[in-house]
């Protein structure tokens, strides 16, 4: 019966191939789309998980840029049980006031150039900054080269990789921010972006930043809180919110991670829906192929019934053909989808992640669609009157 099903499918090659292409594309579409989303999500997870600790801002501000509160809160937060180190910081936007190297001077600056000159400026209180945990720079993530700022680093800066690449800077170079020269002592892997469209982040001492941003001495915008035990981060954040909830808002970076992952997960469901629609279209293709093939073979079914096949035997054979289409199409679709995912990574550098889960689900989907699409034609084939079928020309 297996052989016959295979032969029956090969009898109408072009039609079978078209139905197969439908399934292959459906399955490949699911795999490719999901693998791209998963790849991006996994990048974001890596990126966001670098940020540890708690950030405290003024309550109910949209971004830390608008956050401002009394610097006295530093000592208050420090005295909360479980808190190890508190670094006060100010946050603002600054701009690079030098020409990019290698870029020809032009009087008319484009929008792109102007926005690329804007940087997120993070002024940190150096007294506690050097005591924070390991190679992870608070608020801007892992240090890639050089060192963190330490006590007395006035006129020095740690910039993000993006900013360094934009202006072709290396450790030991200087960069001009708001008409003030800073020596670059370190480069961090990632930066923070408080409003999008910024080309990077620069970390300087809080005094330098206050001067550049014209801020009062007794106000801070942000507290970075490191708990004694990182596994208690959530509890410590809750305590800060409980005690100073009227004025301040403590967020753990993981919350943001959770939110971002939530977005990716809904994006993933969306992609599954898109894939499912293409698979259903493929299913209609199978339905068409099977219906046509059943109608064409009416007399053959009549003969089979006449030589003693049960109507259920006929039904099984047709259903089997349809499932065979689904299995072959599904397997080829898996190969094709994985191939495309790898090609995307190879050609565009976009990270893709092909999970076992997506392979399993897309294959099961192809199978389910082929079974569903086969049921009606199989039913029709089995319900034909033997004699009518034999008379069919």
Residue 47 is a binding residue for other proteins (CB under 8 A): no
Interacting span for other proteins (CB under 8 A) from 137-145, 168-176, 195-203, 304-312: 304-312
Residue 276 is a binding residue for other proteins (CB under 8 A): no
- Number of residues near other proteins (by CB under 8 A): 25
Interacting span for other proteins (CB under 8 A) from 153-161, 276-284, 359-367, 379-387: 379-387
- The one among 112, 306, 335, 364 contacting other proteins by CB under 8 A: 306
Interacting span for other proteins (CB under 8 A) from 18-26, 190-198, 216-224, 299-307: 299-307
Residue 1 is a binding residue for other proteins (CB under 8 A): yes
Residue 193 is a binding residue for other proteins (CB under 8 A): no
Indicate the residue among 84 and 311 with the shorter CB distance to other proteins: 311
- The one among 290, 304, 369, 384 contacting other proteins by CB under 8 A: 304
Interacting span for other proteins (CB under 8 A) from 63-71, 106-114, 280-288, 302-310: 302-310
Applying the rule CB under 8 A, the residues between 80 and 99 that interact with other proteins are none
CA–CA separation, 159 and 37 (whole Å): 29
Applying the rule CB under 8 A, the residues between 155 and 174 that interact with other proteins are none
Indicate the residue among 28 and 317 with the shorter CB distance to other proteins: 317
- The one among 316, 332, 344, 350 contacting other proteins by CB under 8 A: 316
Residue 310 is a binding residue for other proteins (CB under 8 A): yes
Applying the rule CB under 8 A, the residues between 4 and 33 that interact with other proteins are 4, 7-8, 10-11
Residue 154 is a binding residue for other proteins (CB under 8 A): no
Q: How far is the CB of 389 from other proteins (least distance, A)?
A: 9
**In three state form, how does the secondary structure of the chain look?**
CHHHHHHHHHHCHHHHHHHHHHHHHHHHHHHHHHHHHHHHHHHHHHHHHCCCCEEEEECCCCCHHHCCEECCHHHHHHCCCCEEEEEEEEEEEEEECCCCCCCCCCCCCCHHHHHHHEEEEEEECHHHHCCCCCCEECCCEEEEEECCCCCCCCCEEEEEHHHHHHCCCCCCCEEEECCEEEEEEEEECCCCCCCCCCCCEEEEEHHHHHHHHCCCCCEECEEEEEECCHHHHHHHHHHHHHHHCCCEEEEEHHHHHHHHHHHHHHHHHHHHHHHHHHHHHHHHHHHHHHHHHHHHCHHHHHHHHHCCCCHHHHHHHHHHHHHHHHHHHHHHHHHHHHHHHHHHHHHHCCCCCCCHHHHHHHHHHHHHHHHHHHHHHHHHHHHCCHHHHHHCC
Interacting span for other proteins (CB under 8 A) from 142-150, 268-276, 301-309, 341-349: 301-309
> Quick one: which of 318, 279, 295 has its CA closest to 19?
279
Indicate the residue among 229 and 388 with the shorter CB distance to other proteins: 388
Binding site for other proteins (CB under 8 A): 1, 4, 7-8, 10-11, 299-300, 302-311, 313, 316-317, 385-387, 390
């Amino acid at each position: 019966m297996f052989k016959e099903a295979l032969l029956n499918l090969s009898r109408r090659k072009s039609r079978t191939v078209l139905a197969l292409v439908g399934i292959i594309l459906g399955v490949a579409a699911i795999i490719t789309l999901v693998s791209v989303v998963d790849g991006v999500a996994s990048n974001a997870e890596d990126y966001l998980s670098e940020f540890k600790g708690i950030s405290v801002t003024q309550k109910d501000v949209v971004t830390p840029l608008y956050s401002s509160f009394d610097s006295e809160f530093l000592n208050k937060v420090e005295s909360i049980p479980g808190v190890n180190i508190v670094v006060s910081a100010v946050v603002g936007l600054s701009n690079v006031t030098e020409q990019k190297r290698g870029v020809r001077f032009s009087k008319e600056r484009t929008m792109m150039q102007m926005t690329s000159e804007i940087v997120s400026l993070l002024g940190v209180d150096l007294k506690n900054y050097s005591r924070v945990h390991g190679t992870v720079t608070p608020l801007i993530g892992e240090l890639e080269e050089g060192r963190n700022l330490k006590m007395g680093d006035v006129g020095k800066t740690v910039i993000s990789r993006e900013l360094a690449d934009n202006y072709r800077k290396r450790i030991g170079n200087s960069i001009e921010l708001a008409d003030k020269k800073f020596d670059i002592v370190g480069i961090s892997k990632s930066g923070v972006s408080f409003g999008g469209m910024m080309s990077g982040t620069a970390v300087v001492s809080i005094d330098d930043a206050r001067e550049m941003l014209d801020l009062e001495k007794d106000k801070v915008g942000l507290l970075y809180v490191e708990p004694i035990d990182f596994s208690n981060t959530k509890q410590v954040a809750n305590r800060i919110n409980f005690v100073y909830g009227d004025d301040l808002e403590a967020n753990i970076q993981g919350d943001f991670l959770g939110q971002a992952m939530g977005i990716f997960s809904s994006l993933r469901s969306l992609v599954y829906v898109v894939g499912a629609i293409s698979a259903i279209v493929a299913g209609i293709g199978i339905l068409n192929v099977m219906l046509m093939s059943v109608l064409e073979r009416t007399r053959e079914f009549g003969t089979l019934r006449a030589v003693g096949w049960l109507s259920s035997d006929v039904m099984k054979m047709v259903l089997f053909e349809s499932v065979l289409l689904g299995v072959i199409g599904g397997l080829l679709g898996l190969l094709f989808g994985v191939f495309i995912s790898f090609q995307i990574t190879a050609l565009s550098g976009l990270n893709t992640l092909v999970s076992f889960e997506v392979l399993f689900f897309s294959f099961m989907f192809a199978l389910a669609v082929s079974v569903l699409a086969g049921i009606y034609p199989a039913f029709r084939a089995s319900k034909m009157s033997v004699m009518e079928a034999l008379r069919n020309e």
